[in-house]
């Protein structure tokens, strides 16, 4: 299944550059976590401060609740998420307490 999520970055060029540097050197534990939870591919795109994450998952393995629980329970994953929040900001449409927010699919070429 394909998931598309949005999140903003703080509007600070130095912070944005540091955020992108971290994503050229993602911690190995984070990569293992993603793969173990059924994430087959993940891409993040940025335009200004808006980011879009496109994530393809294996439906037989991927469970967002289980993945979130693993992130909460693992100190290293929590440290990564805390570090990333230094750079990130909720979109105006993000529910309180949430980060990456699912986007609504409004068009698919194969369905047209």
At 5, is the pLDDT very low, low, confident or very high (cuts 50, 70, 90)? very high
Distance of CA 12 to the CA centre of its chain: 19
Using alpha carbons, select from 22, 93, 89 the residue that is nearest to residue 49.
Answer: 89
Closest CA to 51 of 86, 16, 76, 27: 16
Architecture in CATH of 2-92: 2-Layer Sandwich (3.30)
Contact between 34 and 42 under an 8 Å Cβ cutoff? The reply is yes
What average pLDDT does range 87-107 have in this prediction? 96
Amino acid 109: pLDDT: 97
- pLDDT average, residue stretch 21-49: 98
- Would you list the domain boundaries of the chain? 2-92
Alpha helices (runs of H) in the chain, residue ranges in sequence order: 13-24, 28-36, 64-73, 75-85
Sign of CA dihedral 87, 98, 54, 29: positive
Task: Report pLDDT digits (tens) over 54-81.
Answer: 999 999 999 999 999 999 999 999 999 9
């Amino acid at each position: 299944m394909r998931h598309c999520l949005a999140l903003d970055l703080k509007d600070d060029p130095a912070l944005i550059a540091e955020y992108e540097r971290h994503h050229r050197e993602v911690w190995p534990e984070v990569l293992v976590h993603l793969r173990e939870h059924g994430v087959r591919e993940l891409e993040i795109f940025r335009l200004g401060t808006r980011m879009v994450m496109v994530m393809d998952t294996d439906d037989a393995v991927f469970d967002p609740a289980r993945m979130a629980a693993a992130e909460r329970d693992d100190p290293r994953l929590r440290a990564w998420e805390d570090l990333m929040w230094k750079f990130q900001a909720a979109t105006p449409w993000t529910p309180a307490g949430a980060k990456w927010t699912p986007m609504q699919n409004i068009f698919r070429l194969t369905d047209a």
